[in-house]
Amino acid sequence: MTPRILLSVPHMGGAEQSYVAEAFATNWLSTVGPNIDAFENEFAAHIGMKSVALSSGTAAMHLGLRLLGVGPGDEVFCPTLTFVATANPIAYLGAKPVFLDSDRATWNLDPELLSRALAQRAGRNQLPKAVIVVHLYGQPADMDPILAACARYNVPVLEDAAEALGSTYKGKPVGTHGRLAAFSFNGNKIITTTGGGMICANNPEWIRTARFWATQARDNALWYEHSRMGYNYRMSNVLAGIGRGQLQVLGERVRQRREIAFRYRDAFADIPGISFMPQSPHGIHTNWLSCFLIDELAFGRSRDSLIAALDAAGIESRPVWKPMHLQPLYRHEERIAGEVAEDLFNRGICLPSSSSLTPEDQGRVIEAVQIAAGVTRT
């Protein structure tokens, strides 16, 4: 039986095992050790921001919001089209998300809608405590107008760059434009530590506090003394070893993911009713996942029926994220528009995008889409 082709799988570079072996050989098998320090330093050098290694991207979002002072009763603006881990940390802190729509050009937070929403809130003297920007599927959000709107009202920006390590906006890595950024090394991401995350900021006090909170907020004393609430959010020295190896191949992984996306785009160019996710003119979209929109009438079948056809051919594909304002968990929360996100969810599909996807396996995916569309190959 031919093996199933999955959406996005880990892809080791080669050096990871030697760093992990070193951790075992030296017995640094907990949440302190040389791999953690080195991974943070190497990541910081790559991104150009100070960095703290954590157990997940969700933890990074949680600490980031708390560093911005988000607390009970506050409102936080958040794009509705995202993974739930963007929004959940708002609720962890007892704050309320307000979900905003995407723009069609980037699928990310709509800068004009944001600007209007902030102006309206300022008029009511009810500004949000923070704005979260997500760089969805590796696509850089249009940061300049977003930052300009937020600066007008002095509202800080937290970048959720969980899906976008390797992406740039106007020549600078995403995550370096706002006050703080969160990255994820979950198993499906462009590089992985099996599970993990990074919080990045320029403010050294925030970095010190993030590290303190992530290690149970233990005060400086002989005994276990605690005056602040903390979490068990630190990355282990073993997993940091995997991260060091992965970081060495990040550039290659970006090139491979982009090549895969453009091969799909070219192969589908003549099929009616299937259109490629826009590529930002302002930066580099890693195409962490290759995404397309299906126009049911022109394509000849629905997005869901295409997913079923691919599944029958042994290929995993997924709908684009279901917007937060449609989730039972968050249906009662306030939202500002949402029709674009709903359309992207209803028609969007993510195709297998692993950087290790072979040309033969990608050929299988392409052929399955062509067959589903009723297009015979020449």
Ligand X SMILES: Cc1ncc(COP(=O)(O)O)c(C=O)c1O
Residue positions annotated with a catalytic role: 189
Nearer to ligand X, 197 or 283 (CB): 197
Distances (CA, A) of 378 to 189, 273, 322, 375: 35, 19, 36, 9
Show contacts with ligand X in window 127-146 (CB under 6 A): 134
CA distance 285 to 32: 34
- The answer to whether residue 162 forms part of the interface with ligand X (CB under 6 A) is yes
Q: Which stretch binds ligand X (CB under 6 A): 79-87, 118-126, 201-209, 335-343?
A: 79-87
Tokens of 223: 């005994």
Contact 67, 180 (CB under 8 A): yes
Of 31, 51, 58, 176, the one binding ligand X (CB under 6 A) is: 58
Selection from 321, 318, 307, 315 nearest residue 357 by Cα: 315
- For residue 234, the 8-state DSSP code is B
SS3 for 96? strand
- Is position 82 an interface residue for ligand X (rule: CB under 6 A)? yes
List 138, 156, 175, 197, residue binding ligand X (CB under 6 A) = 197
- Report how far residue 242's alpha carbon sits from residue 16's, in angstroms, rounded to the nearest whole number: 5
Q: Of the ranges 12-20, 44-52, 156-164, 204-212, which one interacts with ligand X (CB under 6 A)?
A: 156-164
Min dist CB 326 to ligand X, Å, is 16
What is d(CA 2, CA 95) in angstroms, rounded to the nearest whole number?
48
Whether 21 contacts 238, CB under 8 Å: no
User: Quick one: 186 or 290, whose CB is closer to ligand X?
Assistant: 186
* Stretch 165-184: interaction string toward ligand X, x if CB under 6 A: -------------------x
The piece of 78-86, 114-122, 223-231, 306-314 that touches ligand X (CB under 6 A) is 78-86
Relative to beta strand 197-201, strand 180-184 is antiparallel
Nearest to 92 by CA among 76, 81, 108: 76
Q: Does 160 bind ligand X (CB under 6 A)?
A: yes
Q: Interface with ligand X includes 186 (CB under 6 A)? A: yes
Binding site for ligand X (CB under 6 A): 56-58, 61, 82-83, 85-86, 134, 160, 162-163, 184, 186, 197
